[in-house]
Amino acid sequence: MLKNLKLYNFKNHLDIGLDFWPINLIIGPNWSGKTNLLEAIYLLSNTYSYLGFTHDKLLNYLWENFIISWELETDLWTTKEIKITYDLNSLKTTFLYNLFKTTKPKFLNNSNISAVFLSPQEMNIMYLGPSGRRDFFDEVCLLWDISFYKIKNDYSKILRNRNKILKNIKEWISEKSDLKYWDEMFIKVATNYYLYRKKFIDFVTDNISQIEILLNNKYNLSFEYISKIDFDNVEESIKQYLDKNIDRDIILGHTYIWPHLDDFVFYNHFWDKKYKTQEFLSRGENKSILIWLKFLQIEYLSQNRNNNILFLLDDIFSELDDEHISLVLWYARKYETFITAQNLPIFLQKEDNINVIYL
């Protein structure tokens, strides 16, 4: 359990210390730093920014270093101190476990915690473009195994180099044979990328009935991952697609088989037809699907983290009706939870097991 949090020069928090309970409600007006607290918890849990900021962007603009730390209670007698520091002059991030410097992998293994974030933006991923849905999948893979970070970075570098060769061939600067090395590298790293995604795809597919129950079994749902990949033979299907479409890729100057342009969708099956849920179901029902998809993410990660999950809910009350808020809070009680809001909701004012923090 997370006992407390201390921040120095982190965003708008120059010096703040907070104690926590299993359920924590952080109240404050806009610009009071509520989301920044969740960002600090996410960074300490996962070692990277939920919002995609580099560490220099998390530093208060008046200072040249920040320190964030917390204490974890592992049992009745033992606590761990987890700390991350950043220095702007050296551009160095340091990870410390019980005051000793350590590597990022060892830091993650010692803390053995993952934080899962739910924001108003994520409540709308089914209605926006596919990039948000791909980001969701990549976050799941990264929280499952930090080594996915290297796979994703390697993939991006190899993709850029392959696309550069494609453009050079189009402009008669390179030969087709120059693609051989990058094709082999692309196939290798893209295969690993897809295998990470497939684990979660299978988990969602196997647990789709939980979402149907949430919707009172009114619908027959399916989850479909949209890709040109054959998941029964990932490596060979990538190779065949590259070989078959090499001339098109050269003409266009891009690689058109990808984890970076895949998508997923929920369908409702009605008689012999299927309809996308965002087109067939109400907005409230689609929010139920998205909330439960987030719950499935937590259940999936719990298999690898022994239930050491922190649930971060950023201002989602404004997006949800009372029924969905009750659902989220019912589920959140299984984990240590941090909720931000501008005002204390009326239905929570009489709760005596919630730690209310005012900023």
Q: For 61-72, how does the pLDDT look when each residue is reduced to its tens digit (9 = 90+)?
A: 889 999 999 998
C-beta separation of 179 from 246 below 8 A: yes
Q: Are residues 61 and 145 in the same domain?
A: no
Report the chain's mean pLDDT, rounded to a whole number. 90
pLDDT-derived band at 262 (thresholds 50, 70, 90) equals: very high
Task: Work out the average pLDDT over 192-207.
Answer: 94
CATH number, domain of 336, equals 3.40.50.300
pLDDT over threshold 70, residue 76: no
Give strand ranges (E) for the chain: 2-10, 13-19, 23-27, 65-73, 79-87, 92-97, 100-102, 114-118, 221-226, 263-270, 273-276, 309-314, 336-341, 355-358
Question: 29-58: per-residue pLDDT in tens?
Answer: 989 999 999 999 999 999 999 888 999 999
Q: What φ, ψ does residue 87 adopt, rounded to 5°? A: -120, 125
Q: Are residues 85 and 217 in the same domain?
A: no
pLDDT over threshold 70, residue 207: yes
Q: What does the alpha-carbon distance between residue 269 and residue 279 come to, in Å, rounded to a whole number?
A: 12
Q: Are residues 240 and 326 in the same domain?
A: no
Q: Are residues 8 and 109 in the same domain?
A: yes
Considering 261, 280, 299, which residue would you say is the last residue of a domain?
Answer: 280
245 belongs to a structural domain: yes
**How much is the pLDDT for 82?**
92
Q: What does the alpha-carbon distance between residue 25 and residue 15 come to, in Å, rounded to a whole number?
A: 20
Q: Are residues 29 and 143 in the same domain?
A: no
Confidence (pTM): 0.87
21 belongs to a structural domain: yes
Q: Are residues 32 and 80 in the same domain?
A: yes
**How much is the pLDDT for 92?**
95
Q: Are residues 154 and 86 in the same domain?
A: no
pLDDT over threshold 90, residue 288: no
Q: Are residues 107 and 143 in the same domain?
A: no
**How much is the pLDDT for 323?**
78
223 belongs to a structural domain: yes
Question: 80-128: per-residue pLDDT in tens?
Answer: 899 999 999 999 999 999 989 999 888 988 888 899 998 888 888 888 8
267 belongs to a structural domain: yes
Q: Are residues 221 and 250 in the same domain?
A: yes
59 secondary structure, DSSP code = B
Question: 318-342: per-residue pLDDT in tens?
Answer: 777 777 788 888 888 888 999 999 8
Q: Are residues 156 and 274 in the same domain?
A: yes
**How much is the pLDDT for 10?**
97
Q: Are residues 152 and 275 in the same domain?
A: yes
121 belongs to a structural domain: no
343 secondary structure, DSSP code = S
296 belongs to a structural domain: no
- For residue 59, give its domain range: 2-113+309-358
User: Per the structure, how many domains does the chain have?
Assistant: 2
262 belongs to a structural domain: yes
CATH number, domain of 236, equals 1.20.1050.90
288 belongs to a structural domain: no
**How much is the pLDDT for 258?**
80
Q: Are residues 140 and 275 in the same domain?
A: yes
pLDDT more than 70, % of the chain: 98
